Amino acid sequence: MQKVWFVTGASKGFGLEIAKAALASGDQVVATVRSQPEQLAVALHNHPDMCIVQMDVTEEDQVQAAVKQGVARFGRLDVLVNNAGFGMLTAIEEASDAEVRKQYDTNVFGLLNVTRAVLPYLRQQKSGRVINISSLFGYDAIPGWGLYGSTKFAVEGLSKGLAIELAPLGIHVTVVAPGLFTTDFLSTESYTAAETIIADYQETVGLMRRRVDALHGHQPGDPKKLAQVIIQLANAKNSPLHLPLGKDAIASYRNNAAKMAKEIEAWLPVSTSTDHDLALSGYSA
């Protein structure tokens, strides 16, 4: 059955590759961009099964209008890919309130704006898939990416909650956590940096600032292969809730899980010491 996709942040990177792959598989795509929709039209060869909509995920009115436009064009929606987002390289203390809010407005509240706009259509048809793009930084903290990573921790948590709430309605949720892929994410045109730099963080965040440019273009992941996985995911009968992509993403998950398990076991006597005594709580042996 031909599916209708709604893909945010489709101008480049994962969003562009996912849109291309969905069209190549015979599906229809509503692709959203913040600006210059004509460039995306050229990149996708003005495909007849494509509808390009200009919107900013942080503007709820624009999001609602874009979703309605997509439904008007294709009659339904089947797969939502919440891909729009950006990174911010900064020590957490360095980031101003305005910079933090801008990061969350796009990566978290923007995702919620789009999800709220799409879900009524999926609920009505009692089917559909929500695919949220997280990150390996949503599994563990890395100096300089802690603030960005915290938005992806939020995406992980929101996805788990959505999965539980939407499962009885026939809607599947997967949160995809890519490792480092050769997209523009690490280019200076794509990520932002806090205006303030604090010298005390030179050996942690400063080291990351010095390394990030050298890493750009040498990431291990192939975004075209990621796009094919997303197509496979959209057609899977039993899709996972969590899907890390890349050996580095798997390593990040495993390292974090091992550290957490070790800490919890070390402090287990303390963690289990805080319940009421049986006599005080009204229980009897």
Residue 82 is predicted with a pLDDT of: 98
Half-sphere exposure of residue 275: CA atoms within 13 angstroms, side-chain side:
8
Question: Residues 242-259, buried b or exposed e (16+ Cβ, 10 A)?
Answer: bbbbbebbeebbeeeeee
Tokens matching residue 232 = 């496979």
pLDDT: is 101 or 284 the higher one? Answer: 101
The string of pLDDT tens digits covering residues 139-192 is 999 999 999 999 999 999 999 999 999 999 999 999 999 999 876 655 555 578
Provide Rg for the chain, Cα atoms: 21
Residue 190 is predicted with a pLDDT of: 56
Q: Is the predicted pLDDT of residue 214 greater than 70, yes or no?
A: no
Q: Name the nearest CA neighbour of 236 among 164, 158, 157, 174.
A: 174
Q: Is the predicted pLDDT of residue 47 greater than 90, yes or no?
A: yes
Tokens matching residue 129 = 């898939």
Residue for token pair 């930084």? 137
User: Could you tell me the residue range of the domain that residue 110 belongs to?
Assistant: 4-281
Residue 279 is predicted with a pLDDT of: 59
Q: Which residues are catalytic?
A: 134, 148, 152
**H/E stretch holding 245:** strand 242-245
Residue 30 is predicted with a pLDDT of: 98
Q: How many Å apart are CA 254 and CA 14, to the nearest integer?
A: 24
Whole-model pTM: value is: 0.92
Residue 53's CB is within 10 A of a number of other CB atoms, namely 21
Domains held by the chain: number: 1
Residue 277 is predicted with a pLDDT of: 86
Q: Is the predicted pLDDT of residue 260 greater than 80, yes or no?
A: yes
What is the mean predicted confidence (pLDDT) over 212-217?
A: 67
The string of pLDDT tens digits covering residues 233-245 is 999 999 999 999 9
Residue 282 is predicted with a pLDDT of: 59
Q: Helical H runs in 87-176?
A: 97-104, 111-125, 146-166
CATH number of the domain to which 219 belongs:
3.40.50.720
The string of pLDDT tens digits covering residues 60-74 is 999 999 999 999 999
Q: Is the predicted pLDDT of residue 212 greater than 90, yes or no?
A: no
Q: How many Å apart are CA 283 and CA 8, to the nearest integer?
A: 54
The string of pLDDT tens digits covering residues 96-151 is 999 999 999 999 999 999 999 999 999 999 999 999 999 999 999 999 999 999 99
**H/E stretch holding 132:** strand 128-133
Residue 218 is predicted with a pLDDT of: 62
